[in-house]
Amino acid sequence: MNMAKKKPSGRNIPAAKRLSKKELNETRQRLLERRSVLLSGAKQEYTAVHAREKGLQGDSFDVAQEVADESVSRGILATAEEEVGQINAALERIDNGAYGLCEVCTQPIPKERLKIVPYATMCVKCKSELEGENGSALDSYNLGIIDDIEDDEAAEDET
């Protein structure tokens, strides 16, 4: 028995809830424009990182500032790379007819949500439920740090 995740298909969705060809084309254009902006910005950031790497000299404050700037730049590049991946996946969903359908419940994602987050893969309800089950990664990370601090403080109190 095949337990693979069912891919959403727009065939059984009422026409009023599906995106029209015009809306899909407009969305495709917005996604392509956003991807172009991200790639252009990433190229500039990448060039700046490499220029800074070549010029790492000077007093320790200058070097520390350059290292901090490079760290920020690498974060920007990682964020851009992630968003480009989401955009590419959305373009693929447009091509295969699954765009605008929640990957969890297969119901249409509201058009208003797709206008705000055109690469959304889940409806608000499913996304909220998922975040409720898992919590956000940041919350988990912060809780881990707090637990470590509390453990350290408890160990200090015992000595």
Domain ranges of the chain: 18-122, 124-159
Q: Report the C-alpha gap between 79 and 13 in whole angstroms.
A: 34
106: three-class secondary structure by DSSP:
coil
- Identify whether the C-beta of residue 102 lies closer than 8 Å to the C-beta of residue 109: yes
Average per-residue pLDDT for the chain = 77
- Identify whether the C-beta of residue 84 lies closer than 8 Å to the C-beta of residue 38: yes
Residue 54 has pLDDT above 80, yes or no: no
Q: Report the C-alpha gap between 136 and 30 in whole angstroms.
A: 28
Q: What is the pLDDT of residue 139?
A: 46
Q: What is the pLDDT of residue 141?
A: 42
Mean pLDDT of 129-152: 55
What are the angstrom distances between the C-alpha of 145 and each of 22, 72, 89, 151, 153?
Answer: 49, 22, 34, 10, 12
Pick the closest to residue 106 from 1, 31, 38, 11 (CA basis).
11
Fold that domain 18-122 belongs to in CATH: Four Helix Bundle (Hemerythrin (Met), subunit A) (1.20.120)
Q: In which band, very low, low, confident or very high, does the pLDDT at 12 lie, cut at 50, 70 and 90? A: low
Residue 98 has pLDDT above 60, yes or no: yes
Mean pLDDT of 10-19: 60
Q: What is the pLDDT of residue 149?
A: 44
Per-residue buried b or exposed e for 113-137, using 16+ beta carbons within 10 Å of the residue's own CB: bbeeebbbbbbeebbeeeeeeeeee
- Identify whether the C-beta of residue 73 lies closer than 8 Å to the C-beta of residue 48: yes
Q: What is the pLDDT of residue 134?
A: 67
Give the alpha-carbon dihedral of 44, 64, 144, 153, to 10 degrees.
Answer: -170
Q: What is the pLDDT of residue 143?
A: 44
Q: pTM here?
A: 0.65
Q: Which residue has the higher pLDDT, 83 or 6?
A: 83
Q: In which band, very low, low, confident or very high, does the pLDDT at 96 lie, cut at 50, 70 and 90? A: very high
Q: Which residue has the higher pLDDT, 155 or 110?
A: 110
